[in-house]
Structure 1
């Protein structure tokens, strides 16, 4: 996701292949009078891959991303995917060193160059997640939430995930969101569609805490990526049972 507005450039989680990343580079003006910023919605491998391609950008993420204990795992996953799919990069992969730490519980509103951005904690998928809201543009960048192709993947807690869904509802009440960009899946352009995705996610989360967990197709709905989601559904079940969340 890239945004050029008010002589400022902001990108979120640029990915994934070298050609894709180079095309994002080329789309950004050489001169941005009020600065260039790279925001990480969280620190999973597929969201940090763009780090070495955007030197000179102010690197931004949550304070909890800075202290993640599994940074080496994220890099190992990234290298394993590159090996599996024969992706040859001309850059050295490394975990981001953040220039600006976002602490949404103490300060949610920031001005990045010429753009006002509000950040909200978005936990549940991971502990270090962020929602980014650009009120002037009616734009919400949701990271790995509110997808229409994958149900919630839980690596934190169901309770935190529910809180993130409540946060999304709160944002919709406080601001007219005309565009919501998830990390995976298609963009939502209406409040009705965003609320529908919140409802889908909530139904799926609720299905994981009952004695007889149903097939994800019943609790969440259709996705074309069934084989992968079968594995992720079982992973969620195992995680919830082992962590008693």
Structure 2
């Protein structure tokens, strides 16, 4: 598989079967993967002209093939483009259907659009889910493996194209972000799962939900930095509680953490603070 180059007009250079569109919003990726029998579309996002570009591209290459829309998870920036692919077969991890999850996230789309005056010719609709995936599932007919990868959200699912050795990841292993965590045990288990697949030669290219694709070596590097961040965060919380520090004293030390030897960026520091709350609560529950 060819190596992707830097984005040109928001689109990564494509090889014979993979194209990655990149939104202005958080560099959210919308990935299109062609197989002989199907066209797979992942998380079309976010602004109307960006979603339209993805839809136009898919129409130009479709050639009568069915379209499969895969939602890597249910967060609002990843579901906004459903309406443009309403005729597709929609696949997602089963927890995306948890009570009120999609309704709440659609509300965030509408709120964002209202706040920033985003006008859409096509209204954002609540995604219809045609097929749900529970645990890991190998679909020989489609040539893919669906992998449950909780940790960022409980409903996150990666898709491995077996022949292409391509993994469309969702919101993990970005070059732009430290881990955004809702379950650190699930997160570390998911990292270990991907690590095994890369080391076994099953993944040669990974496409994250935000930022740049990565080859095998870069993917392993991202995994190890994320593992180190999680372990350091846990250790700070563990030491703080063992030393009798208050929650606020422990948090103060936690906030001085770095990621890849760089300070946590102010614009996403709230996510780092959120991770502290996760680590703290998990440590309390483990006692």
Asked if TM exceeds 0.5, the reply is yes
Q: Which of 90, 115, 119 is matched with 2:121 structurally?
A: 90
Q: Is the 8 A contact 1:135 1:175 kept in 2?
A: no
- State whether structure 2 residue 247 is matched by structure 1 residue 231: no
> Which is further off, 93-102 or 17-26?
93-102
Q: Is the 8 A contact 2:90 2:131 kept in 1?
A: yes
SS of 1:151 mapped into structure 2: coil
- Aligned partner of 1:161 in structure 2 is 187
SS of 2:143 mapped into structure 1: strand
Kindly report which structure 2 residues correspond to 1:97-116, keeping only aligned pairs within 5 A, or say none. 97-105=128-136, 108-111=137-140, 115-116=142-143
SS of 1:146 mapped into structure 2: coil
Task: Describe the superposition over 1:200-220 as per-residue Cα deviations: whole angstroms up to 9, x where unpaired.
Answer: 111111122123544466244
Displacement of 1:174 in angstroms is 3.4
Q: Which of 248, 258, 272 is matched with 1:218 structurally?
A: 258
Q: Which of 223, 228, 235 is matched with 1:203 structurally?
A: 228
Kindly report which structure 2 residues correspond to 1:1-245, keeping only aligned pairs within 5 A, or say none. 1-29=31-59, 31-105=62-136, 108-111=137-140, 115-155=142-182, 157-189=183-215, 191-209=216-234, 210=236, 211=240, 212=250, 213-215=253-255, 218-222=258-262, 226-242=265-281, 244=284
SS of 1:136 mapped into structure 2: coil
SS of 1:28 mapped into structure 2: helix
Count of aligned pairs between the two proteins: 238
SS of 2:176 mapped into structure 1: coil
Length-normalised TM-score, structure 2: 0.76
Runs of at least 4 residues of structure 1 off by over 6 A? none
SS of 1:43 mapped into structure 2: coil
Q: Is the 8 A contact 1:117 1:132 kept in 2?
A: yes
Structure 1: gaps of 5 or more residues: none
Displacement of 1:34 in angstroms is 4.0
Pick the structure with greater CA Rg.
2
Q: Whose RCO is larger (CA < 8 A, sep 6+)?
A: 1
- Counterpart-to-counterpart distance in 2, 1:88 and 1:226: 30
- After superposition, the Cα gap between the structure-2 partners of 1:95 and 1:170, relative to the gap in structure 1 and judged at 3 Å, is farther
Q: Is the 8 A contact 1:204 1:216 kept in 2?
A: no
CA RMSD of aligned residues (A): 2.1
Displacement of 1:36 in angstroms is 0.6
Displacement of 1:7 in angstroms is 4.1
Structure 2: gaps of 5 or more residues: 1-30, 241-249
Displacement of 1:65 in angstroms is 1.2
